[in-house]
């Protein structure tokens, strides 16, 4: 306990928010947890805390009685949380993550009062405390949900009459509540009217990121849009984005990108994801992998380009995910493409990239048509030394044969014509279909626009 | 205790390394099986420009991507296959 309050005093003196937040870190070793909790009992804890906090802040004249009382409340909740955590470590029959969550939520309320109360007006440099509170609020809520799904019988009496409720929605009771709390935290930061340098607005990105994670986890990503809207509406009166620590910027840009991706706004998605990629710490492999999971399908749609071997090299999981598709696209093997898509379907759907990847089939088809064109070779030269010209009038039958070969399906020529018309319409192929001659007449200059032929 | 943060948290009040370790091993992996697209906390809050991904390749991203067609592949094989296929098509028509 002494250590905690020594550190508390030092952090208060230095006005160092991150150090201060560390004194509220609930992730302690078993011994520490026991030590903290056993220093006092329910009757004595408040007096003890008051003595400690007073002793370590008495040299700070601006810390008045109201603020001391607020910190006593906060650390009282901290102590209760430690007790509940200890019960879990000791596998006590009364232990429950719900109790941990509730105790921690109370801590947040005490802190919230500290910011809102005109008597205390906790200064903005302390907002890292909110970060740590928000972080563990989520962790504890997820554990409480997990515990709930592991012991479905415990609450039957309570939930019996709600049987018709969606079971899926039921899985995240505590995390949803956590979303409400985090939203309160977000508002607390957003609505601070203090001058920008001393404003809690510096906290909005961190809290927004916690909200994004939470809303994605409870499968309501659309709720993130309210958060984004609030930030965009307040623009001009916000800390400049470049001044926010990179870790927060990367996470924010990642979720912003994924949200655009889910709305199929690929150019915007690519912009945000690329920014996240560029800012990301070079050694944060897992996060880089996550960014690429969306950036690769995005890039495929916006530029028809594939990831290079060098890019995928450090990520066996991404190789497994994308390489079969990439190979099929390159070779124009429609059948292999369909198989690869089918093979990865579960993963693709889970990551919400299936529909985007499906668009790769058009590119595979483009490459197949391109191969038909290349296989056609050159026209016999009309005069000597003339530049050889590719054969641009290709019998429809050749495409029919190639597409049947590639897709291993018995398509009739009408269907193939339709596929080709689509390619022309989408700009993958330049030319027209001459029905009277059963010919596809391709452009003499750049029949397959960006591919050099 | 909870969370995936055991490995990602830079410093803790428990400076005792051994205590940290026992804690890490005893952690209940309750939240370990996170959503597939859940971002991990970074080990540090901020880092210098030269440690960003962009700085690794001198801001050059072009080599990360490649064209989606493959000219190295033996077009000859394909032409032969295609001719074979066309022959079949024509034959079946004649029949």
pLDDT tens across A145-154, in order?
A: 999 988 765 5
| pLDDT confidence of residue B58 | 66
Please, which pLDDT band fits residue A189 given cuts at 50, 70 and 90? very high
**Residues pairing with B41 in the sheet:** none
Of A32, A136, A350, the CB nearest to B13: A32
Alpha helices for A332-359 (secondary structure H): 334-343, 345-350, 354-358
Rounded Cα distance between A149 and A170, Å, is 9
DSSP string, A252-299: HHHHHHHHHHHTT-HHHHHHHHHHHHHHSBTT-HHHHHHHHHHHHHHH
Domain boundaries of chain A, sorted by first residue: 2-150+169-240, 245-358, 372-378+389-451
ipTM exceeds 0.85 = no
Residue of B nearest to A277 (CA): B53
Range A67-87 average pLDDT? 96
8 Å CB contact of A307 and B65: yes
- pLDDT score recorded for residue B94: 62
pLDDT at B28 over 60: no
What pLDDT, on a 0 to 100 scale, did the predictor assign at position B88?
77
Contacts of B10 in chain A (CB under 8 A): none
Strands across the sheet containing A393-395: A393-395, A439-442, A431-434
pLDDT at residue A125 in the model:
96
Dihedral of the alpha carbons of A406, A412, A417, A418, in degrees to the nearest 10: -90
The winner for highest mean pLDDT among A66-75, A325-334, A373-382, B77-86 is: A66-75
**What phi and psi values does residue A405 have, to the nearest 5 degrees?**
-65, -45
Domain A372-378+389-451 sits in CATH 1.10.3720.10: no
A271 in Cβ contact with A302 (< 8 Å): no
Hey, are the CB atoms on A143 and B55 less than 8 Å from each other?
Answer: no
Comparing CB atoms, the residue among B36, B44, B85 nearest residue A351 is B36
CB distance A279–B53 less than 8 Å?
A: yes
Asked if A351 lies within 8 A of B35 by C-beta distance, the reply is no
For residue A168, what are its two tokens? 């899926």
Q: Do B82 and A405 touch (CB under 8 A)?
A: yes
d(CA A203, CA A192): 10
Reported confidence tier of residue B33, pLDDT bands at 50, 70, 90: very low
């Amino acid at each position: 306990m002494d250590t905690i309050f020594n550190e508390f005093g030092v952090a208060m003196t230095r006005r160092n928010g991150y150090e201060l937040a560390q004194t509220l870190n609930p992730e302690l070793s078993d011994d520490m947890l026991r030590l903290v909790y056993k220093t006092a009992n329910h009757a004595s804890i408040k007096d003890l805390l008051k003595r400690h906090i007073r002793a370590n802040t008495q040299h700070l004249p601006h810390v008045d009685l109201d603020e001391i009382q607020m910190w006593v409340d906060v650390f009282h909740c901290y102590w209760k949380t430690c007790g509940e955590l200890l019960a879990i470590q000791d596998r006590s029959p009364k232990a429950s993550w719900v109790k941990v969550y509730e105790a921690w939520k109370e801590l947040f309320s005490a802190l919230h009062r500290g910011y809102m109360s005109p008597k205390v007006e906790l200064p903005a440099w302390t907002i890292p405390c909110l970060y740590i509170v928000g972080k563990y609020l989520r962790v504890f809520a997820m554990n409480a949900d997990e515990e709930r799904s592991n012991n479905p019988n415990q609450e039957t009496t309570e939930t019996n009459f709600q049987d018709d409720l969606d079971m899926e929605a039921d899985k995240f009771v505590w995390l949803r509540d956590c979303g409400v709390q985090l939203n309160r935290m977000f508002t607390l930061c957003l609505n601070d009217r203090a001058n920008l340098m001393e404003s809690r607005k510096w906290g909005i990105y961190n809290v927004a990121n916690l909200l994004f994670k939470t809303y994605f986890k409870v499968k309501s990503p659309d709720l993130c849009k309210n958060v984004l809207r609030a930030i965009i509406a307040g623009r001009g009166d916000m800390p400049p984005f470049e001044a926010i620590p990179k870790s927060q910027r990367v996470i924010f840009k990642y979720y912003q990108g994924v949200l655009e991706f889910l709305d199929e706004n690929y150019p915007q998605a690519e912009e945000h994801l690329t920014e996240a990629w560029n800012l990301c710490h070079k050694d944060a492999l897992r996060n880089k992998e996550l960014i690429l999971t969306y950036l690769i399908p995005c890039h495929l749609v916006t530029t028809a380009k594939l990831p290079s071997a060098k890019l995928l090299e450090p990520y066996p999981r991404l190789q497994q995910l994308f390489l079969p598709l990439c190979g099929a696209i390159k070779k124009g093997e429609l059948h292999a493409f369909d198989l690869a898509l089918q093979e990865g379907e579960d993963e693709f759907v889970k990551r919400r990239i299936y529909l985007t990847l499906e668009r790769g089939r058009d590119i595979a088809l483009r490459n197949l048509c391109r191969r038909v064109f290349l296989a056609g070779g050159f026209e016999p030269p009309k005069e000597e030394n003339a530049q050889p010209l590719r054969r641009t009038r290709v019998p429809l039958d050749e495409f029919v044969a190639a597409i049947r070969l590639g897709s291993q399906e018995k398509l009739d020529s009408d269907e193939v014509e339709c596929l080709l018309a689509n390619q022309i319409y989408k700009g993958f192929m330049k030319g027209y279909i001459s029905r009277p001659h059963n010919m596809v007449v391709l452009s003499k200059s750049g029949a397959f626009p960006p591919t050099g032929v | 205790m909870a969370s995936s943060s055991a490995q990602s948290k830079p410093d803790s009040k428990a400076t005792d390394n051994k205590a940290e370790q026992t804690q890490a091993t005893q952690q209940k992996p309750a939240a370990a099986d996170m959503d597939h697209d859940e971002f991990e906390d970074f080990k540090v809050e901020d880092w210098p420009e030269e440690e960003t991904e962009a700085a690794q390749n001198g801001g050059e991203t072009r080599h990360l991507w490649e064209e989606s067609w493959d000219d190295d592949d033996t077009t000859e094989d394909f032409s032969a296959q295609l001719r074979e296929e066309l022959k079949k098509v024509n034959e079946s028509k004649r029949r």
